[in-house]
Structure 1
Amino acid sequence: MLKNTESAIVVQGLNHWFGSGEAKKQAIFDVHLEIEKGSLTVLMGPSGSGKTTVLTLMGCLRDVQEGSVKLLGNELNGSSEQTNVALRRRLGFIFQAHNLHESLTARQNVRMGVEVHGRKDRDDAYDQAAAHMLTLVGLGDRVDYLPGNLSGGQKQRVAVARALVSNPDIVMADEPTAALDKESGMNVVELLKRLGQVRGTTTVMVTHDNRILDLADRIVTLEDGAIVSDERR
């Protein structure tokens, strides 16, 4: 049974290492972070600062080695795979690589975002939800296009639609605007912001994109695996 809490994510004393033996190296150092539901939090910092590692630890994509990560009230340190799977179904993931299925249309790719969450809606409901989300990201006229007939930025917007179509509690986004022009990038982040305001969706975003910082509720900066600043807007 999954729990719920007022905070979307609570991280306390998080440490993480890569490698083993003499090659073992600490990557995350004593990170403490509490993220409120409905907020848009940006993780910034130079390459190798630990941003993506923290994101993947909070998103059940890596095992928590030391410290506490509570995701929607559920402790991830020592959690079972069953719990992790159930929690992932409440998340939406957007990665820099769009990872679309080349043999499926935009609509079919987005439909998968509903189907992998174990939803039992009718086929026409899947199609309507996928088409609606593609329209929201500006691809209403591309719903039946294969990825090979879409630009890089359009493919990334399909990936965004796929992450959002299941109405996740939390969106974990790693450089979601890197492949997008300024207007498209702003539109995607504005959509995430609106989802926070209207649906209470929480977004945690790793980015180097200074163009979208004005939309963030909070900017957390990491260097060498530790938080060096935490600015609320």
Structure 2
Amino acid sequence: MDPIQVQGLNHWFGTGEARKQALFDVSLTVARGSLTILMGPSGSGKTTLLTLMGCLREVQDGSVRLLGTELKGADTATQEAMRRRLGFIFQAHNLHESLTARQNVLMGLQVHGRGDPARQDVAVAHLLTLLGLVDRIDYLPANLSGGQKQRVAIARALVANPDVVFADEPTAALDHDSGYLVVRMLKDLGKARGTTTVMVTHDTRILELADRIVTLEDGRIVSDTGVEKVDRKP
């Protein structure tokens, strides 16, 4: 079963005369293990669609099935259970300033409730090392650059091996090499573990890594390269 199935999705913001429609009859199916990029101008509905698929907004009209669960009308317990199976990467790193890089990433494991505590620290150190932070593992966020903070946030999202990763401009604070490394890692997770990634970006440097590029304008999908490039592990 495809991990994300969207059908006839509409969404509005505001009430009364200020009510404005942000998405119009959006339908989209995302294959397991794929790296799908959402593009489009500001205000096109990319982030709105991402947050609806990621169980961060209430589905108002239409259907969103995430990992086999219908999100429209889902109760709070169901939504929380779904979010524990996901990884989120946002442009704002949202790190806890009083915790070191290591401790911030450990929180990602504790929130998901996964892993043997005796092995968690090894997994965290390994991931931070892969992201080029071997000499910053025990630094507080105040002593990290913006790009280093973003890489810590990315490690926190990936450390629990989520089924689906939702990323909103994850490379915006990173230089070319670091951004490419992060997206390449997401791509490799799709091949090795079946991790599905949906990413909003304006970063044209990483488009070659995408299995699929979906473009939105004014709340509608206007272009979709399809899923022909998806390389699933046998």
1:118, CA displacement in angstroms? Answer: 2.4
Instruction: Give the AA of the match of 1:106.
Output: A
1:157-172 to 2 correspondence within 5 Å? 157-172=151-166
Aligned to 2:57: 62
- Secondary structure of the residue that 2:112 maps to in structure 1? coil
| Alignment partner, residue 80 of structure 2 | 85
1:119-139 Cα shifts (integer Å, max 9, x gaps): 3632x3221121111112111
1:9-57 Cα distance to aligned partner (Å, 9 max, x none): 0000000000011111100000000000000000000000000000000
> Within the alignment, does 1:223 sit opposite 2:223 as a pair?
no
What TM-score results when the alignment is normalised by the length of structure 2? Answer: 0.95
Partner residue of 1:175? 169
3-state secondary structure, aligned to 1:116:
helix
Q: Alignment identity in percent?
A: 74
> C-alpha distance in 1, partners of 2:29/2:131?
29
Give 1:149's aligned residue.
143
Deviations 1:97-142 (A, max 9, x none): 00111111100000000111123632x3221121111112111221
Query: How many angstroms does 1:59 deviate by?
Result: 0.5
Return the alpha-carbon distance in structure 2 between the equivalents of residues 163 and 134 of structure 1. 12
Unaligned runs of 5+ in 2: 230-234
Q: Distance in 2 between matches of 1:106 and 1:142?
A: 7
The aligned amino acid for 1:62 is R
Q: Which residue of 2 aligns with 1:45?
A: 40
Matches within 5 A, 1:1-233: 6-119=1-114, 121-122=116-117, 124-232=118-226, 233=229
> Which runs of at least 4 in structure 1 moved beyond 4 Å after TM superposition?
none
CA distance in 2, matches of 1:78, 1:126: 35
TM-score, normalised relative to structure 1: 0.96
Q: Which runs of 5+ in 1 are unaligned?
A: 1-5
Paired positions, count: 227
CA distance in structure 2 between the aligned counterparts of 1:135 and 1:37, rounded to whole angstroms? 27
